[in-house]
Amino acid sequence: DTAVSQTPKYLVTQMGNDKSIKCEQNLGHDTMYWYKQDSKKFLKIMFSYNNKELIINETVPNRFSPKSPDKAHLNLHINSLELGDSAVYFCASSPPGQGYYEQYFGPGTRLTVT
């Protein structure tokens, strides 16, 4: 019954590696997001996809590339990982329509780059 799921929950890797985080939502939502929460606990939006199309792309290095194979999935691929990429990454989704959007968040993926 998990609404928004992410895998893996924990990811430990070395600098320079390439890794992916997967996100799936079973809510039938059209819009999905990736957020980054750094060590100071600030949550910042990275990307937003609506119906598999990129809507928001905040100032994020090109090493980060979201991929949406279908409306229910938004994966985050990170190339050439750096120490500063260590953070908790949250996926979220929201329903379609105009006006107010309630966002549903996943449990997060804690990425540690050593």
Partner 1 sequence: DAKTTQPNSMESNEEEPVHLPCNHSTISGTDYIHWYRQLPSQGPEYVIHGLTSNVNNRMASLAIAEDRKSSTLILHRATLRDAAVYYCILSPNYGQNFVFGPGTRLSVLP
57 or 79, CB closer to partner 1? 57
What beta strand segments (E) does the chain contain? 4-7, 10-13, 19-25, 31-37, 43-50, 53-57, 64-70, 73-78, 87-94, 104-105, 109-113
Closer to partner 1 by CB, 17 or 93: give it: 93
Residue nearer to partner 1 on the CB measure, 17 or 57: 57
Bond from prior residue into 8 cis (ω within 30 degrees of 0): yes
Residues 93, 53: Cα–Cα separation, whole Å: 14
> Could you give the CA distance from residue 60 to residue 109 in angstroms, rounded to a whole number?
18
List 25, 66, 90, 113, residue binding partner 1 (CB under 8 A) = 90
Q: One symbol per residue from 10 to 49: x for binding partner 1 (CB under 8 A), - otherwise; what is it?
A: ---------------------x-x-x-----xxxxx--x-
Q: State the nearest-atom distance from the C-beta of 93 to partner 1, in Å.
A: 10
Residue in 78, 92, 111, 113 binding partner 1, rule: CB under 8 A: 92
Structure tokens at 103: 């966002």
Interface residues toward partner 1, by CB under 8 A: 4, 31, 33, 35, 41-45, 48, 55-56, 90, 92, 94, 98-108
